[in-house]
DNA sequence: ACGCAACGCATCCGCC
DNA sequence: GGCGGATGCGTTGCGT
């Protein structure tokens, strides 16, 4: 029993150390980012606006991805044979797919 | 004028791209961390407890650091000569209140 | 229907007023605190150091609390019977890593 | 000298304890506020919207206050005789009045 | 005017 | 799928 728990303990220690290591690195990157902002400010840029710009660009990217995903869903629906009977005009190929929207 | 603004614009672009790059990496690390937790959970560890352990260890470290900087600040105050001559009622920069804590 | 919405509205009004009242008081306390610092400064204390001292003491308290809750969480895990029978490799909720800290 | 520093220490201790006490109360109020939001949520209100409402009302109040202050400044300027020669359109009634700022 | 710290907000993850 | 809690981000205010 001792050896078993010992193994578990060793495992746990490893997990925790890995996580702490990764968080260290993450923290380091956060500091790097701060520094870049500081540099930008030092040469006269308005960091507040920069942040806005970055966040907008981020949203754009997210939006693009969402649309790609949506497209994938459509393509899948077609391939999968979920396609409504061809020739039936009342069954739109590009139907709501409501859950994808939410 | 065009060239001047062009330069600034170039600079800005560089700053923003650097930041976005760094944030990408940061995001990657966050994902790595999540994954480690997932692995730990998969072999039976309680992630909630793990998180608690990690946060406590983190606080330990932070507290040690804080105390060090507090000490620095004391020393600085003394060295700085801001310390009034003893007997001057207007003065002690800040006496140790350690015993008051308990 | 009118009376129903009227009731909800009344309720909402009460909630909001209570919150606003509480925030007023909070703001008042913040001002009191500022004032105490001002007094201390007026008689020659270094407020920067005072702030540091207070923050360190705060961290002390927080750390103590965190450790207590961590302990609780350990006990809970044990009591809860979630603890696997010793020898079950899938199991230890989270063994004490105290020695790993140093 | 010992007694002098002793006095200062006592004073410092008092200041710090007063501040800590006040911060305790502040924290208590913050918790109360959270609780009220929780209650509101429990009976079906959207706390996000509530927050918006409260912040808008706050801004309104601030705006009103700003305007009152501005009015005071005007009145002061008139009473104080800092008023530019009447009839001179180039000398704005709302001139800097720097000391009013303090 | 600057940097720092507190606050509130939005997001995300885990739990129910 | 909703809810609560935790984390990280951005904003504001304070002190220097």
Read off the pLDDT of residues C38-71 as tens digits, 9 standing for 90 and up: 999 999 999 999 999 999 999 999 999 899 899 9
Kindly state whether D37 is in contact with chain C, defined as any CB-CB distance less than 8 angstroms.
Answer: yes
| Strand E nucleotides where any atom sits below 7 Å of a protein CB | 3, 6-10, 13-15
Contact D25, C18 (CB under 8 A): no
Give the count of beta carbons closer than 10 Å to the beta carbon of residue C81: 7
From A19, A23, A50, residue closest to B15, measured CB to CB: A50
Q: Which of residues 30-59 of A touch strand F (CB under 7 A)?
A: 30, 48, 51-52, 54-55
For position B82, what pLDDT does the model report?
54
Distance (Å, rounded) from C-alpha A17 to C-alpha A11? 10
Distance (Å, rounded) from C-alpha A48 to C-alpha A34? 12
From A5, A12, A17, residue closest to C86, measured CB to CB: A5
Q: Which residue of C has its CA nearest to B62?
A: C59
Paired tokens of A97: 């797919």
DSSP assignment, residue C101?
G
Distance (Å, rounded) from C-alpha A97 to C-alpha A70? 9
For position B94, what pLDDT does the model report?
56
Residue nearest to nucleotide F8 (CA to C1'): A30
Q: Is the dihedral of CA B90, B91, B92, B97 positive or negative?
A: positive
Contact A40, A47 (CB under 8 A): yes
Give chain A's residues under pLDDT 50: 97-102
CB contact under 8 A, D37 and C19: yes
Distance (Å, rounded) from C-alpha D87 to C-alpha B70? 62
Distance (Å, rounded) from C-alpha C91 to C-alpha C72? 19
The answer for D45, left when phi > 0, alpha when psi is -120 to 50, beta otherwise, is beta
Question: Taking the CA atoms of chain B, what radius of gyration do you get in angstroms?
Answer: 25
- B41 CA to centre of own chain: 29
Q: Taking residues C73-93, report their average pLDDT.
A: 60
- Distances from the Cα of C9 to the Cαs of C17, C20, C67, D57, in angstroms? 12, 16, 44, 16
- B62 CA to centre of own chain: 8
The set of chains that have 3 or more CB pairs under 8 A with C is: A, B, D
From D11, D22, D32, residue closest to C22, measured CB to CB: D32
CB contact under 8 A, A9 and C86: no
* Across all strands, nucleotide nearest A48 (CA–C1'): F10
- Distances from the Cα of A85 to the Cαs of A30, A79, A80, D31, D89, in angstroms? 54, 13, 13, 59, 80
pTM (predicted TM-score): 0.79
Read off the pLDDT of residues B40-50 as tens digits, 9 standing for 90 and up: 999 999 999 99
Kindly state whether B49 is in contact with chain C, defined as any CB-CB distance less than 8 angstroms.
Answer: yes
Contact list in A for residue C87 (CB cut-off 8 A) is 1, 4
Residue nearest to nucleotide F11 (CA to C1'): A48
| Candidate from A19-23, B88-92, C51-55, D82-86 with smallest mean pLDDT | B88-92
Paired tokens of A42: 């030092």
* Across all strands, nucleotide nearest C47 (CA–C1'): F15
Kindly state whether B38 is in contact with chain A, defined as any CB-CB distance less than 8 angstroms.
Answer: no
Contact B16, A37 (CB under 8 A): no
Read off the pLDDT of residues B45-71 as tens digits, 9 standing for 90 and up: 999 999 999 999 999 999 999 999 999
- C50 CA to centre of own chain: 22
From C18, C20, C45, residue closest to D12, measured CB to CB: C45
Read off the pLDDT of residues C1-32 as tens digits, 9 standing for 90 and up: 678 888 888 999 999 999 999 999 999 999 99
Residue D62 pLDDT greater than 60, yes or no: yes
For position C90, what pLDDT does the model report?
45
Mean per-residue pLDDT over chain C, rounded: 81
Q: Which residue of A has its CA nearest to C90?
A: A8
- Separation of B39 CA and E16 C1' (Å): 23
- Separation of C47 CA and F15 C1' (Å): 10
Instruction: State in Å, rounded, how far the first CA of chain C is from the last one.
Output: 66
């Amino acid at each position: 029993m001792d050896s078993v728990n010992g193994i578990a303990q060793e495992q746990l220690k490893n997990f925790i150390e890995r996580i702490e290591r990764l968080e260290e690195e993450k923290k380091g990157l956060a500091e790097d980012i701060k520094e870049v902002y500081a540099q930008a400010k030092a040469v006269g840029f308005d960091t507040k606006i920069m942040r806005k710009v970055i966040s907008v660009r981020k949203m754009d990217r997210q939006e693009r991805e969402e649309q790609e995903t949506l497209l994938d869903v459509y393509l899948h629906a077609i391939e999968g044979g979920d396609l409504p009977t061809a020739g039936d005009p009342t069954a739109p190929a590009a139907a709501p797919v409501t859950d994808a929207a939410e």
